[in-house]
Amino acid sequence: LLPATHPWEGGSLPAEPELQQLRGEGGHPTPADFSPEELQELQRRFGVHGPQPALAQLLTAGLDQWQPLRRNTLEQIQSLVPTIRREARARTLNPMLLGAILYDEIQHAKPGENSPWLVHSGLLQTHGPAQLGVEELIHQGLLPADPSPEQRQQAREQLLDPQRNVALLAGKMARLSSALGIPSGHLLEASNGYRDAHWIATLAYLHNGKLDYPARILGYMQDPALHALIYGRTLRLTNPII
């Protein structure tokens, strides 16, 4: 059990609010919405994209309803929970944010995309459970700006290690939090109100780069089964809660 030194480390956690009921300043209907000015600034600073095509969004929603896939995703996350907790505690991150990103990326991973031969072929840009690229190690100062082929290969090996991949995801969230001006040591919780929820949505957006992604992440952060895994409650994976 984790020592109760952070708000999320105690024995119980209040459920996240119904985010669709939150209303923000400046006419934002939900925390996952961005003004044109925000989008322009995020594009300028980080490079982002539009939403997924409608068909892709429909397929994503369909996959989320397929219970065998959901059960497999939760089982994979269960093996990563100790690392999620450790990295979240070390960087003052909400472990549900890490868990929700991992849930989405694992749930929608393509078959075989993490096989070593395909990873080292250079055909794919992102790898591992959090779908991170070699460039993230450069951003975190773990690789030089122009890594050699050998360094790139070693970086891909790191990304294929699930525990290391989660640690790098936590590093990415911490890096982006600093870039966005989120106060150091501030634990983001959607239940704190619109500001925190919108910051969470922004971090999710910058991780994936698609406009429909933040709402999915905020939704997964309210998933009772995912809560049960992250906070160590009893969970029957054979009959997951929706």
The 10s digit of each residue's pLDDT in 38-56 is 988 998 888 765 555 554 5
Position 241 in a domain: no
Residue with tokens 């690229």: 133
CATH of residue 200: 1.10.530
Examine the pLDDT at 174 and tell me if it is beyond 50: yes
Per-residue confidence (pLDDT) for residue 61, from 0 to 100: 57
Position 66 in a domain: yes
Counting the structural domains of the chain, the total is 1
The pLDDT tens digits for 70-101 are 899 999 999 999 999 999 999 999 999 999 99
Per-residue confidence (pLDDT) for residue 146, from 0 to 100: 96
Per-residue confidence (pLDDT) for residue 11, from 0 to 100: 35
Examine the pLDDT at 234 and tell me if it is beyond 70: no
Burial tier of 81 (Cβ tally within 10 Å: 0-12, 13-18, 19+): middle
Position 23 in a domain: no
DSSP assigned state of 28 = -
DSSP assigned state of 26 = G
Position 165 in a domain: yes
Position 235 in a domain: no
Examine the pLDDT at 20 and tell me if it is beyond 90: no
Minimum mean pLDDT range among 43-52, 183-192, 199-208: 43-52
Position 15 in a domain: no
Residue with tokens 């991949």: 165
Q: What integer best gives the mean pLDDT of the chain?
A: 81
Position 104 in a domain: yes
Position 211 in a domain: yes
